Structures are given as structure tokens and as C-alpha cells.
A and B are shown apart, each in its own frame.
Chain A
């Protein structure tokens, strides 16, 4: 609400108007990011390669000239002869089909339909060689969109990707693609979450929520505060091998505009002004807390890469209220560790899979989706779930992964390599983990980067609202762990085809 009021006060009202509308605004202003076009700074490979046989085209022109003959004296016939098959202008240049404008091709195939012996359209293999293997579709030979092109579109426009003629991908893939979300036929708010009247809240809290008040010597025991995020998304820590000043500045500024937070080490933000690090959640080891007192004192929350309960008293002397987040690499035993941390009084646990969404169990990896579910379920069993916040990261690369991660039990997600893709950073090889991932070092305008990330969040926010409105949910917090509002492929398959003979 504070953020909404802040946004409301910054929308240009003044004087009496501002005063008279303040109380009204506090109820009516909804969270809305303002996307603006931020075109790619580096030309992206096009998905299609239209090809034209020049000899065939010349023959066709001769054939048409001879067919029309004297009619060509009339200008309309000349225009008819020169009218070209592509409605997107691939042949709209001065030399028509002799020099097609390949960037305009949408793969509609009309040129192939009209001139099958002359025109051909192939997929461009370069289109898929961006980012790394996690970002490449299972079957590149049959798709014209990739996770990279989707994120790029979202970061460029801030819009929701729209296409016609049904879904074109595989039936159900591993991981996130094996989940469908529910929709409600009748009992639900309107779809106007995105377009109009009804407000759907995407606000989440980060922090400890004790079940009851605790007292020490008749004094209320000190509790850490909760911080509010208007969207269940924040930016994760990127190691030095995957960051640059331009990237960190873009993230910091985008966080501020979106009202969300970003995790970074104090060293990574040294080049930023104090005004730019208001949304910083510093990440550090317990032992280094005392080495950077100022960063700890001013932090809205702090992320520790390890946890030692005996050191917490010292920490509280520096910052009495900041929620403590513990960064926990996801493994098969994360449920047990998370339970212990929750009992210790930790405010939030950041469950971190590798960048491909796998656990850190060498040779026996599980996918992040299953591990979030298992940690969430264990905390529920121990009656601790409502006391801690779960942040999930790793392998969350598309808008739909956010609601799916929340359905599996996370409160919010932290974005990692998606940021790099949105900023058109070039991966150097496979980017599986913070230890092995590398990018090519380069500088870019951080104003452009800020807008790209704001656009990405705007698009993902709107898509989250689409999912919530389809379900009839007014509050993303209600979605957490609600697996009853999701369908898992393995369950549906077993139920639907149980009595059908399976053959291999």
C-alpha cells in the first residue's frame, strides 16, 4: 500500500486536487508498470529464411508478361503483374523477389503456396543458438518461437505475447510444462484484472509472520518487520562472472521503478549512488556481517549465504528489524534444513536451484518444481509454513513459471538468467550455475537496460493477472501451495488413461 501511495503521489497531482484525491487514491490506484518500447540493442537472428530462385522468378515474370501481352499498356495490369505474394513486405523492396527483405518474414508461407517451385521458407538455425541449452526448445525444427524470443519480445514491448491458431508446442514437457493451471467457468471476478474494473492483488510479503506475540520479561519480544513487494518477483544475485556495472545498474533502477528488490553483494553496488540502492537486499556470509556494518544497517532485508544462530544477536544490534533470508541450495534434504531454519526463527528461505532448474544433488538431480513442493509440504506438516517466506529461483525463465512456482509452494520468485536474456547478454557456453556460467563482458546504456527489465516485469505481471483472473483469484497470496488449482500431467494421465492398455 505504501508503494501504491508513493506511486499515486508521483503521478502529477498537485495542490487541492492532490489533497482531495489522496484518500480516494489509496483505494483506487492499482499497481501498474508503464512499459515503453525498448528495442533490442543488438539485431536478433530472424526465425525464418525466405529463399527465392532468381532464375525461376525471372522465368515467371517472362511468362506473366507474355500472358498479359498488350494489356500491360494499362497501368492497372502492370500493377497486377507486379503485385507480390507477401503481405508482410518481404518482396516489397525495390528489387522484389530478387532481393527479399528477410527480416520481414513471418513464416506465413503464402509465397510457397503461390510459387512452390520458386519460393521456399526454411527455419533459421541461428535463431535457436542464443543463450544456452535450457533456453532451446525440445524440437527446434518445428517451432518459430523460443523462450529467448518470447523474453525478448516481452522486454522490448512490455506486452503479452499473442498468437493465433491454438497452441503449437509439445503436449506436455518435463518440469514446468507438465503443469496446467485451473480456470473457473462461472464463480470468479471478471477478467478485468488486466483491462479494467476489478483489482487483482499481486502483492506479497517477505518476512517472518509469528503465529502469536512473544514476550520477554513482560516486554514484547523484538520482531523483524515484513516488507511488501507489489509483485511476487525480485532479482536474484548474479555472480561476478555473470554481471557488469551496466547489468547491476539496470537491475537496481528497474527494482526501484517496479517497487521490488534485488539481491547483490555490497561489492557489486559500490558504483551506485545511495539513491540507487534503496531496494538492495545485500547478500553475504554470516561472518562478513560485521565487516560491512553500513550495508547491513540500511538494508530492508538481508540474505545470508550461511546461517549461524549464535551470530544473530550481533546482527540484531546493527539492524533490529530487517528480515533475515537464508540462501539454501536446493537438494533432496532441503525440506529438513528448511524446517530447522524455520524453527530457528529465520524470516525467509531462498531456495536456489541451478540455472537449469535442477537440484544440487550431483548425478541425481530433481527439478525445482518438485523440490519447492517438497519443502513447502514439509513446512506445512510441521505447522511452520505460514511463519516463513519461501523465495524460489533457478530455472524460472518464462512468465508462466511464476504462478506455477507459487502453486508449488513458493511465495515469490527471484529472476536470474532471464535478466541476462532480457538484456541481450551473450552467454559464453553453458550457464548452469553461478560457478560455471560466463558471459561476454560488454557495456550498454543502463537506461535502456532499466526499461527492458521494467517491460519484462510489466509483461509478466499482466500475464500473472491473466492466470489469476482465469482462476477467479483476487490475490496471488491465495495461490501459494494451492495445488488443487493446478493439474499435473502425471496425475491426469494416470486418471484418464488408467484403463487403457499401455504398450511400449
Chain B
């Protein structure tokens, strides 16, 4: 049955108000924790703690917000905190900023927090969620990323905070969107499906999505893997040069996954003149992907970061390139641990989705897609997220994370998040 626009508006308003109220109330545990919520990586408490942080902008009260129950990696790493007397007492002065360009060429760009948003394409996620992330990025003076589904015109208002992604399918890649971006990301691989390219199922390829991607509506879209024009480091350099030829004033980020030789891949990207090397670990990703790929292909980011950091250091080029890490980074503590392992900063996807109501149920690929309006192109569901509301929640989440980073630095006796990079001596492993 066709429903009128008024009726749709009323339905959307009813359910969005109920959802927004629900995710505000649930962390209070007034109703307990639903047994079906969460999993080993994103436990129910982590999800609820993220809801709470996104609501209040402060540390959660009574919920585990630091680690999950995966039994490895970040969940077994901890910080070696100093005794009280040796701690710093200048919480407000902690420097959480990082530089995104350490090269002698390209613009100087710093972000005030050591994170920016991961690529999630139009089609895999709703326009409203993209807008929420873009508004939040502008507010925080950091970045979000288009993913490979093209650059919706609505994002142009936030272009100074939007990274344009150029991926293997070249969906929606245009000169003007490359020229509009301060950072262009060349995506070779992604943690959600390392080595397998992108895959947008037919149900989600609406007319708008197809138009943006210059494809046919309701036909599954496969991004090939890899770039069919890149079969060597020299070809890779050609790609980086191509981006710079289109936009000489941008930073080039190279996003790769974490194969056995991830260190060699990183040094190859360095010699191809990338400003940012972005490694995406095998357990991450927000998109729908074959279970076999998510679980079994490529190494977890916790192992990849020290491998790359050490190799770049041993080659004497570590301080010339920015190393960003992603793939299963859920909390402020994960970010800090990733930096201590050797990254400069992290790229966040899932946590931003959880901030606006994601339950990590994994039904993103089914029929209409996400029930709370994140990974969907359904005309009704995609309106459940009001961009301003979503942006506020994402900003609140990072406000809470910033407080936690301050506390970590304080207890480690450090003044700046940059001092934490590669400080594995400040970590313990159980």
C-alpha cells in the first residue's frame, strides 16, 4: 500500500522519537540488559556505554566501557599506570592533536583529536547518517570519509572536513570531488572483506544510489579487487601522482588491509609518496561481508600496527609518514592502545554507528537494511536519523573519549598523545 508523505512523516517521527528515547534510557539499566544484545567484540555493556557517552559526553557510570570480551588483542592489553604521586595534574592542557602530514610536501593539516571517521559509502549507509558524521567532523575540526559510493551534493557544504575516497570500483569518482577534498583516500582494501573488494547488494541500490554510482538500480554492485591498473609499487606511485595531478593541494591517504607483508606494503606506499598510510585490520568494517572473510583473512590490527611501526622505524622513515589504524577499534582505550603500539591515530567507523543507535546486530545486508536508519537506503528507515541529532551524539562520544585520553595521559605522565606513539613499554599484556 502506498502511504502518503504525511503518514510517512508521522511514522518516522513516532519511531525516531521512541528509538532516541530508548537509547537514552537503556544505559541506566532500569530495565536490565537484554540477553540478545552484543557479542564478544561489542559486548552489551560496550554498546550501552557508547550510548551513554553519546548522550552525556561524559564517562559512563557503572558500565564496562574500556574493553570487550574477545579474549585477545586490545582486550588483553592494558596500560602500566604510574603511581599517584608521579602523575601529572594538568588535565586540561593535554594535547590530543596529531599532524596528518609529516612530509615536506602537501598542506599542513592537524586534527585536534587523534581520530577521524572511516569511509562508509552512500548506499551502504543512509545519507542522513553521512550528514550526521559530516556535521560532527566539522564541529570537531576533524574528518569523515565518503567511502566509495560517490559524493552526495549535500556533503559539499562540509567539504573541508570530508575525505574523498577513490576505490577500485571508481563509483562516483569525479574530478570536482577530488578537487574539493583536503584529503583523498585511495582504497586498495578494507578490513571488512580483505582482498575481496566491495559488494553492495541489489536491495540497497536504489535509484538515488544507482544515479550517484552511475549504475543500474536494484542490481548488485561489485567493486573489483584490486585496482586493475595497479600491479606494482610503480603503478601505485602513478595512482598517487594521478590524484596529485587532479588536486595538487591535497594529502593522499592510502588505505590497505593487513596481509602477511603489511610492512612491505606500508614502505611501498611511503615510497609512492603517500602522506598517510591507513591500515585496516581484518576484524573491522561496517559493511556487509562474507563471514569467512571477516573472520579468517588478514591479521588483526593489534598485530599489524607494531609490525608496520617497527619496520618504518627501522627504515628510518617513520617520522615522515602518518600511520592511521582501523578495524575493530571500539573505545577510547583501544585508540590509546593502538597509538602506544605505534599508530599516530585511528579511523573510526562502527563506534560512530553505535553512537546513533546501532546494536551491532549485523543485519545491514538484509532487505530494507538497518532498523535504526544507519546502513539503509530505505526511504522510510533512512529518515530515522536526524543529522543534527546524530552529529550531537557523535560529538558527545568524542568528548567522552577526549576525557578518557586525558586521564590516560595523566596517569602515564605524558603531556601529549603524540608522546604515546610506539610506547609499548607503557603497555602490559595478560
Of B35, B296, B298, B371, most buried by chain A (CB within 10 Å of CB) is: B296
Complex interface: stretch among B106-114, B176-184, B257-265: B257-265
The reply to whether B360 and A181 form a contact with Cβ atoms under 8 Å apart is no
Residue from A112, A116, A161, A172 with most neighbouring chain B CB atoms (10 Å) = A116
Q: Does B175 contact A (CB under 8 A)?
A: no
Q: Is B58 an interface residue (CB 8 A)?
A: no
Is residue B271 within 8 Å, beta carbon to beta carbon, of the partner chain?
A: no
Other-chain residue from A165, A470, A489 in contact with B361 (beta carbon distance below 8 A): A165
Is B232 positioned at the interface, with any CB of A under 8 Å from its CB?
yes
A42 at the B interface (CB under 8 A): no
Q: A123 touches which one: B31, B35, B194, B305 (CB < 8 A)? A: B35
Find chain A residues with CB under 8 A from B91 CB: none
**Quick check: B363 and A106 within 8 Å, CB to CB?**
yes
Interface centre among B14, B39, B70 (most CB of A within 10 A): B39
**When the two chains form the complex, which single residue of B34, B188, B228, B328 contacts A120, counting CB atoms closer than 8 Å?**
B34
CA A150 – CA B26 in complex, angstroms? 31
Which B residues, 375 to 430, have Cβ-Cβ distances below 8 Å to chain A?
A: 375, 381, 424-425, 427-430
Query: Which of A76, A183, A186, A485 has the most chain B CB atoms closer than 10 A to its own CB?
Result: A183
Asked if B6 lies at the interface with its beta carbon under 8 angstroms from chain A, I say yes
A115-B18, A139-B69, A471-B195 known; A108+B292 contact, CB < 8 A: no
A17 contacts across to B, CB distance below 8 A? none
A399 and B292 in contact (CB under 8 A), knowing A165-B350, A185-B189? yes
Stretch at the interface among A279-287, A321-329, A490-498: A490-498
Asked if A80 CB lies within 8 Å of chain B CBs, one says yes
Q: Which of B81-89, B219-227, B244-252 contacts its partner?
A: B219-227
B358 / chain A contacts, CB cutoff of 8 Å: 165
Which of B19, B224, B288, B357 contacts A191, CB < 8 Å? B224
Find chain A residues with CB under 8 A from B366 CB: 88, 106
Most buried by B among A80, A86, A177, A472: A80
Report the Cα distance A485→B261, complex, angstroms. Answer: 10
**B36 CB contact (under 8 Å) in A79, A113, A117, A144:** A144
When chains A and B are docked, how far (Å) is the Cα of A50 from the Cα of B104?
A: 58
How distant is the Cα of A172 from the Cα of B303 in the complex, in angstroms?
12
Bound state CA distance, A399 and B296, in angstroms? 11
Tell me whether B292 and A141 are in contact (CB under 8 A).
no
- CA A76 – CA B192 in complex, angstroms? 41
Q: Hey, which chain B residues are within 8 Å of A169, CB to CB?
A: 39-41, 70, 295
Shortest distance from the beta carbon of B403 to any chain A beta carbon, whole Å: 26
Question: Assuming the A-B contacts A164-B288, A170-B72, A184-B195, are A112 and B37 also in contact, with contact meaning beta carbons closer than 8 angstroms in the complex?
Answer: yes
Q: Interface readout for B63-99 with A: 1 if CB under 8 Å, 0 if not?
A: 0000001111101110010000000000000000000
Q: Which of A30-38, A238-246, A461-469 contacts B (4 or more CB under 8 A)?
A: A461-469
Q: Tell me the bound Cα distance from A182 to B282 in angstroms.
A: 10
CB contact between B299 and one of A144, A162, A485, A487 (< 8 Å): that residue: A487
B381 proximity list for chain A (CB < 8 A): 87
Interface residues on A, range: 35 or more
Cβ contact of B430, chosen from A123, A186, A503, cutoff 8 A:
A503
With a cutoff of 8 Å between Cβ atoms, the chain B residues found around residue A110 in the complex are 19, 359, 371-372
A255 vs chain B, min Cβ distance (A): 24
- State whether A113 and B196 are in contact (beta carbons under 8 Å apart), knowing that A169-B40, A171-B70, A172-B72 are contacts in the complex: no
Is B117 an interface position by the 8 A CB rule? no
Q: How many residues of B contact A (CB 8 A)?
A: 110
Tally the A-B contacts, defined by beta carbons under 8 Å. 311
Which residues between 1 and 31 of chain B lie within 8 Å of chain A, taking CB atoms? 3-4, 6-7, 10-11, 14-15, 18-19, 22-23, 25-26, 30-31
Could you tell me the distance between the alpha carbons of A171 and B72 in the complex, rounded to whole angstroms? 5
Smallest CB separation, B96 vs chain A (Å): 23
Residues B222 and A493 in contact, CB atoms below 8 Å apart: no
**Cα-based distance from A87 to B328 in the complex (angstroms):** 28
A162 touches B289 (CB 8 A): yes
Cβ of B151 within 8 Å of any chain A Cβ, yes or no, is: no
Which residues of the other chain, B, contact A85 by a CB distance below 8 angstroms? 15, 18
B310, chain A: closest CB distance, angstroms? 9
Chain A interface residues toward B at CB < 8 A: 47-49, 76-77, 79-80, 83, 85-88, 106-110, 112-117, 120-123, 139, 141-145, 150, 160-172, 177, 179-188, 190-192, 195, 399-400, 404, 463, 466-467, 469-472, 484-487, 489, 492-493, 495-497, 499-504
Query: Shortest 4 CB-CB distances between A and B: which pairs?
Result: A171-B72, A164-B364, A470-B195, A183-B195
Ordered by A's residue number, 25 sampled pairs between the chains whose C-beta atoms are within 8 Å are A83-B14, A87-B371, A113-B22, A114-B19, A120-B32, A142-B39, A150-B291, A165-B285, A170-B70, A180-B296, A180-B298, A183-B257, A184-B226, A185-B265, A190-B225, A191-B195, A404-B296, A470-B196, A470-B297, A492-B300, A492-B303, A496-B306, A497-B429, A500-B425, A503-B428
